[in-house]
Chains A and B, each alone.
Chain A
Amino acid sequence: MRRVVAALLHLFPPQFKRTFGGDMLATFDQRWRERSSWQLAARTIFDLIVSALLLRFSTHQPALGPIRKGDSPVSILWQDFCFALRTLRKSPAFTLVALVTLALGIGVNAAMFSVANAVLWRSLPFPDADRIMWVGEVDRANPDNVWGATYLNFRDWQARSHSFERLAGTMRDERILRQGTEPARVSGMAVTPEFFEVLGVQPAAGRVFGAADERPESPLGIVLSDRMWRRRFGAEPAMVGRTIRFDDLIATVVGIMPGRFEALMESEYYVPLGHVIDPYFATHRAVWVLSSIGRLRSEQTTAAAQTEVEGIMRQIRHDHPEVNRGFAMRVHPLQSQLSRDLRPALLALLGAVAVVLLIACANLAGLMSVRAASRAREMAIRSALGAGRQRMIRQLLTECATLAFAGGLAGIGLAFWAARGLQWLSKDPRLLKVSIDLPVLLFAFAATLMTTLLFGVAPAIHAARIDAAEALKSGPRLGGGPRRAFARQVLVVAQVALCLVLLVGAGLLFRSFRRVLGVDPGFKADHLASLRVELPGSYKTIAAVLQVHHQFLERLKSMPGVVDATMINSLPVSGDSSNGDIAIEGIASAPGELGATNFRRAVPGYFRAMGIPLVRGREFTDSDDRQHPDVAIINETMARRFWPSQDPLGRRFQIGPHDTARWMTIVGVVKDVRNLRLDSEIGFSTYQPYAQQPRTRMEFALRTAGSPELIMASAQRELQRIEPAAMIDNVQTMSQRIDETLSPRRLNLVLFGLFSLLALVLAAVGLYGVVAYAAGQRTREFGIRMALGARAANVLWLVLGQGLKLALLGVVIGTGVSMGLTRLLTKLLFGVEPTDPLTMIAVAILLACVATLACWLPARRATRIAPTEALRTE
């Protein structure tokens, strides 16, 4: 502590330090002996700094004299710093504008970086996390289309691969917990025992799975997440060994995972995959239901592992042609796989904020340059009084650094709130990991340094080049000269160009959003309420399921305010992408060659109730049941693909494996419906009569006369009255459902729009500043012109024209740059080309209008100057 005090003494003016330094140390020693505590330490440090500041400010020594021998570098820096504070305080408007610009620029960057870092780059919280790989198949033509693994393929990889210490298979698992009175839907994972070894995490209590747990005849074990243990079981200490009751099975808790494990898994529980996997999945090779992760051997590279598994897969495809689908094997870090869908948007936004910071820097450089020009005389006087060139540059740089660091601090504060806001807006659980941590602080620091250099160095060098005699002669107004003015113009053009690039990006996202909103979902989405109902495990027979579902439908239809009610296993815009391979009678094909169809099971009247037009044939009827032949209704896309000029009615096709799947006869064709999402491609869709393959989990849709919100709660109550044990959730209007699927796209748009707006304001301020300054310089000239008979309009055009020339140049350059850059946004667009001319033109016009306004304000002021006054200013 004594050393700290001694070091802090350097902050004091040298004279003061010489006189009192020794005494202060002695006094402090005595005090510290009496009561050493961190409070005293903190008080003393704070007090020393404040006192030093007060002393520095109140002393009237020349702050910028030549460097005296004997001043330590720290003390010089301190002098510069104090002087910078005083100078900045003298021009509060400049300081405020600069601070706000910096805080916003650095703040949005730190915020976006914190998100990108947490989601894309920060390593997962597991030992040697960079060796944990995702292993699976993707579509060769479109690698974003991820297929993962089939159970039997996975088992072969596991047996034959040597690149991995362990390979684990995982599958989503969702069950209804019946613990206590309220049933609750919980989602977990079915995993092979290697899962926990791959991740390298020990349970907090009990054990994880062993090979024995996989066998179906052994009792079913379950591993709970920390969250489930706390939330659903009140952190019961004696949880291991207890049984948990789900709708369809009973499991014994064998272990509980630690809390940090959830950083990766949103899973609430883990069950052994071999125990719970559907026998159909476990025996058919061509069903991609698994994800596989592996821990790479330490000496192994990702590329070598990929080559190895690709070789294994080639052999498998040869032995089992049914899995030969034009897929490619991929081995890549689990980290990147988990954030794959967020990556394009995050990178685009990072780019956008970097551009905002660049604009902010250009803006500040312009401001500093103007300021340096107006301080030319001050600098000249200093230089004449003997201040060294180096010393003056240092002084200016210190000023910039002081500004930048204050701005950076404010920016970090801003980033903190921005990151919070983002978490709140997005609701994506992955964003919960976002925090302002050390890497973010380092990033903000680096951004601050870069900013200082970008906006500070050039003006500083310029200022130091000033010829003292010249500047003193020319009076206070004229500083800079043609070169400086040119530099300022370049900065303005750059700002406008960068701003245009951002605006074009925002414009494209906006147009995409409008396009998505304008997509015809294929059904009437208004006045539609929906809910999902899952029957308890007590419904063992098909007859019982059919009967209660019939009862549900009848009750819903009879409710006042309900026009129609219908039922399907999965309503449109549900993201449900269950699909199966098609085989068509009369068309010879290898498995999967004809593509796959999304399949759903609907009741008679479904299409009528949903407002989906029937193109050909008939709807399902009550007689389409298990006693009658299997039938199906297909969508237009599928009909067009296979029967472009023939009648598809009466044709037969299969979904699933050739040998076992049932043949269905096509009885109808309906219009295409956006079954997955509004912005997803329309593929093949197939509807089968619900009564031929009933399910216990169904979705209901109610067409209402009035507002659907009013019906939902009572509909839920009605159904619960019939079956109190039914699990009812997803109670939403159809508009809410659609809205939910749009929220990531909306968030991208809002953020990108916000950043572009910021850029626009900064660029406009920059333009305004330069034009106003230039006009100010020419006050005398305008005075003469007007005295000689120039009209106000002439002067207006003179000023306006000068600014607009710059703006238009910026627009032209920006458009060129946009053409090259917007394709980076391709993945975020929908129905709009990256080089969409309409967007480009609209943005260019918007920017031109803003630029005109920014130039018009100073131009008008120039015309209002009375000639006599202008002439007097000298």
Chain B
Amino acid sequence: MSSPLKSADFHILLVLADGPRHGYGIMKEAETESGGAVRLEIGSLYRILARLLEAGLIEDADADARRHYYRISRLGRRVLKAEAGRLAGLVDLVRARRLLPGGDA
């Protein structure tokens, strides 16, 4: 994955890294964890899930009577790590320019 992940994709992967979830669980946690920045209604949520499934970043976990659960795939985990690394690198860069407190300055 050369281009950065879209923020909604990133948050969904991040939620799923914690363990399998169904749609509503993803929707809620993504919203809380992003501090409200990622608000997904069902249309967008399932559109993105479909895309992530197709790209092999997530996969179907078991299904209960009513709905599917999704879990992150190994590829997904690798992508997530790569993206997190990229973001961390960015944060270091920002700190080095003294735009944020902390770091080795």
Chain A residues whose CB sits within 8 angstroms of the CB of B50 once the complex forms: 16, 19-20, 55
Chain B residues whose CB sits within 8 angstroms of the CB of A30 once the complex forms: 24
Chain B residues whose CB sits within 8 angstroms of the CB of A50 once the complex forms: 43-44
If A19-B50, A51-B47 touch, whether A24 touches B42 (CB-CB below 8 Å) is yes
Q: Does A47 contact B (CB under 8 A)?
A: yes
Chain A residues whose CB sits within 8 angstroms of the CB of B66 once the complex forms: 22, 26
Chain A residues whose CB sits within 8 angstroms of the CB of B39 once the complex forms: 43
Chain B residues whose CB sits within 8 angstroms of the CB of A51 once the complex forms: 43-44, 46-47
Residues A5 and B42 in contact, CB atoms below 8 Å apart? yes
Residues B46 and A23 in contact, CB atoms below 8 Å apart? yes
Q: Does A44 contact B (CB under 8 A)?
A: yes
Q: Does B67 contact A (CB under 8 A)?
A: yes
Query: Within the complex, what minimum Cβ distance (angstroms) separates A54 from chain B?
Result: 6
Residues A31 and B47 in contact, CB atoms below 8 Å apart? no
A50 nearest in chain B by CB position: B43
Q: Does A52 contact B (CB under 8 A)?
A: yes
Q: How far is A48 from B43 in the complex, measured between Cα atoms in Å?
A: 4
Q: How far is A816 from B103 in the complex, measured between Cα atoms in Å?
A: 88
5 contacts between A and B (CB under 8 A): A20-B49, A28-B42, A43-B41, A47-B42, A54-B47
Most chain B CB within a 10 A radius of its CB, from A16, A22, A31: A31
B26 nearest in chain A by CB position: A27
Chain A 31-54 residues near chain B, CB threshold 8 A:
31, 43-44, 47-52, 54
Residues A23 and B41 in contact, CB atoms below 8 Å apart? no
If A44-B41, A47-B41 touch, whether A24 touches B24 (CB-CB below 8 Å) is no
Q: Does B27 contact A (CB under 8 A)?
A: yes
Query: Within the complex, what minimum Cβ distance (angstroms) separates B77 from chain A?
Result: 23
Query: Within the complex, what minimum Cβ distance (angstroms) separates B63 from chain A?
Result: 9
Contact of B43 among A26, A31, A52 (CB under 8 A): A52
Q: Does B74 contact A (CB under 8 A)?
A: no
Chain A residues whose CB sits within 8 angstroms of the CB of B42 once the complex forms: 5, 24, 27-28, 31, 44, 47-48
Given contacts A43-B39, A51-B46, A52-B43, 12 further A-B contacts (CB under 8 A): A5-B42, A16-B46, A20-B46, A22-B66, A23-B68, A24-B43, A27-B23, A30-B24, A31-B27, A47-B42, A51-B44, A51-B47
Query: Within the complex, what minimum Cβ distance (angstroms) separates A33 from chain B?
Result: 10
Chain B residues whose CB sits within 8 angstroms of the CB of A31 once the complex forms: 24, 27, 42
Q: How far is A51 from B49 in the complex, measured between Cα atoms in Å?
A: 12
Chain B 17-50 residues near chain A, CB threshold 8 A:
22-24, 27, 39, 41-47, 49-50
Chain B residues whose CB sits within 8 angstroms of the CB of A24 once the complex forms: 23, 42-43, 46
Residues B27 and A47 in contact, CB atoms below 8 Å apart? no
If A24-B23, A26-B23 touch, whether A44 touches B67 (CB-CB below 8 Å) is no
A48 nearest in chain B by CB position: B43
Contact of B67 among A26, A47, A52, A54 (CB under 8 A): A26
Q: How far is A26 from B24 in the complex, measured between Cα atoms in Å?
A: 8
Q: How far is A502 from B47 in the complex, measured between Cα atoms in Å?
A: 54
Residues B43 and A44 in contact, CB atoms below 8 Å apart? yes
Chain A interface, number of residues (Cβ within 8 angstroms): 22
Contact of B41 among A19, A48, A54, A55 (CB under 8 A): A48
Q: How far is A43 from B42 in the complex, measured between Cα atoms in Å?
A: 10
Closest 7 CB pairs of A and B: A51-B43, A47-B41, A27-B23, A48-B43, A47-B43, A20-B46, A30-B24
A19 nearest in chain B by CB position: B50
A30 nearest in chain B by CB position: B24
Chain A residues whose CB sits within 8 angstroms of the CB of B22 once the complex forms: 23, 27
Chain B residues whose CB sits within 8 angstroms of the CB of A22 once the complex forms: 66-67
Q: How far is A30 from B46 in the complex, measured between Cα atoms in Å?
A: 15
Most chain A CB within a 10 A radius of its CB, from B23, B41, B43: B43
Q: How far is A31 from B49 in the complex, measured between Cα atoms in Å?
A: 18
A23 nearest in chain B by CB position: B67
B68 nearest in chain A by CB position: A23
Chain A 263-297 residues near chain B, CB threshold 8 A:
none
A13 nearest in chain B by CB position: B50
Residues B23 and A23 in contact, CB atoms below 8 Å apart? yes
Query: Within the complex, what minimum Cβ distance (angstroms) separates B105 from chain A?
Result: 43
Chain B residues whose CB sits within 8 angstroms of the CB of A28 once the complex forms: 42
Chain A residues whose CB sits within 8 angstroms of the CB of B27 once the complex forms: 27, 31
Chain A 804-862 residues near chain B, CB threshold 8 A:
none
Q: How far is A49 from B44 in the complex, measured between Cα atoms in Å?
A: 10
Query: Within the complex, what minimum Cβ distance (angstroms) separates A9 from chain B?
Result: 9
Most chain B CB within a 10 A radius of its CB, from A20, A28, A47: A20
Most chain A CB within a 10 A radius of its CB, from B41, B45, B50, B68: B41
Q: How far is A558 from B41 in the complex, measured between Cα atoms in Å?
A: 82
Q: How far is A205 from B27 in the complex, measured between Cα atoms in Å?
A: 57
Chain A residues whose CB sits within 8 angstroms of the CB of B24 once the complex forms: 26-27, 30-31
Q: How far is A16 from B49 in the complex, measured between Cα atoms in Å?
A: 11
Mark interface residues in B58-72 (1 if CB within 8 Å of A CB, else 0).
000000001110000
Most chain A CB within a 10 A radius of its CB, from B42, B45, B46: B42
Chain A 189-238 residues near chain B, CB threshold 8 A:
none
Query: Within the complex, what minimum Cβ distance (angstroms) separates A24 from chain B?
Result: 5
Chain A 43-69 residues near chain B, CB threshold 8 A:
43-44, 47-52, 54-55
Q: How far is A5 from B44 in the complex, measured between Cα atoms in Å?
A: 13
Q: How far is A273 from B68 in the complex, measured between Cα atoms in Å?
A: 82
Q: How far is A49 from B42 in the complex, measured between Cα atoms in Å?
A: 11
Residues B45 and A55 in contact, CB atoms below 8 Å apart? no
Most chain B CB within a 10 A radius of its CB, from A26, A27, A44, A50: A27
Query: Within the complex, what minimum Cβ distance (angstroms) separates A78 from chain B?
Result: 15
Chain B residues whose CB sits within 8 angstroms of the CB of A48 once the complex forms: 41-43
A40 nearest in chain B by CB position: B41
Query: Within the complex, what minimum Cβ distance (angstroms) separates A27 from chain B?
Result: 4
Chain B residues whose CB sits within 8 angstroms of the CB of A16 once the complex forms: 46, 50
